[in-house]
């Protein structure tokens, strides 16, 4: 079995038990680009079995990747292991002799990204007034914000509610 591009596989004459394929693909090949919040220290690893079924190909296997993301609370970089343990796709009516799994595996890995990215479960985040990392040091600013010369981020809305009688 030969590959023309990272996740395109020739499926002519697949044996009944299928064919195991393993490899790595860069995230850029999946149209997942790194940015200021997210980076990929290594490529996406895959282990798949491609097996013929009555009207197409059954794809089963797993995906693994390391993702570095900034914490949602304190902005510290942390690595998260992302795993899709049960990849399963039934591809019907494959056109030609090449099966392209790029879009299917892209969606699988994106759906497995955590919704909340925390450096640790008990992350205390940043002080909303002075910005110090509360995991490393105690905040020395006034909690009111106004006393420290920092405008409260919701102050305009608070004033509006007071005027409106809310």
Alpha helix positions (H), 69-140: 102-111
Whole-angstrom distance, CA of residue 62 vs CA of residue 44: 10
Task: Supply the pLDDT for residue 131.
Answer: 85
- pLDDT above 50: residue 12: yes
Backbone torsion region of residue 57, taken as left when φ is above 0, otherwise alpha when ψ lies between -120 and 50, otherwise beta: beta
Domain coordinates in residue numbering, the chain? 8-111
Length of the chain: 166
The tally of CA atoms less than 13 A away on the side-chain side of residue 139 is 18
Residue whose entry in the numeric block shows the structure tokens 């510290």: 76
Query: Tens digits of per-residue pLDDT, 83-133?
Result: 999 999 999 877 778 899 999 999 999 999 888 888 888 999 998 888 889
Query: Tens digits of per-residue pLDDT, 44-76?
Result: 999 999 999 888 899 999 999 999 999 999 999
Which of 4-13, 14-23, 146-155 comes out lowest in average pLDDT? 146-155
Whole-angstrom distance, CA of residue 125 vs CA of residue 74: 4
Q: From 13, 73, 80, 12, select the one nearest 42 (Cα to Cα).
A: 80
Which of 21-25, 116-120, 129-133, 141-145 comes out lowest in average pLDDT? 141-145
């Amino acid at each position: 079995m030969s590959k023309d591009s990272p996740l395109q596989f020739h499926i002519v004459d697949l044996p009944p038990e299928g064919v195991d394929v393993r490899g790595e693909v860069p995230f850029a090949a999946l149209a997942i680009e790194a940015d200021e919040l997210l980076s990929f220290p290594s490529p996406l690893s895959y282990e798949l079995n491609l097996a013929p079924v009555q009207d197409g190909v059954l794809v089963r296997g797993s995906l693994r990747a390391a993702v570095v993301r900034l914490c949602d609370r304190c902005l510290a970089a942390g690595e998260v292991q992302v795993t899709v343990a049960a990849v399963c796709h039934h591809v019907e009516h494959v056109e030609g002799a090449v099966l392209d799994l790029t879009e299917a595996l892209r969606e699988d890995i994106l759906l497995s990204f955590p919704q909340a990215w925390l450096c640790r479960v008990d992350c205390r985040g940043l002080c909303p007034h002075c910005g110090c990392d509360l995991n490393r040091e105690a905040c020395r600013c006034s909690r009111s914000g106004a006393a420290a010369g920092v405008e409260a981020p919701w102050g305009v809305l608070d004033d509006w509610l007071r005027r409106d009688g809310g």
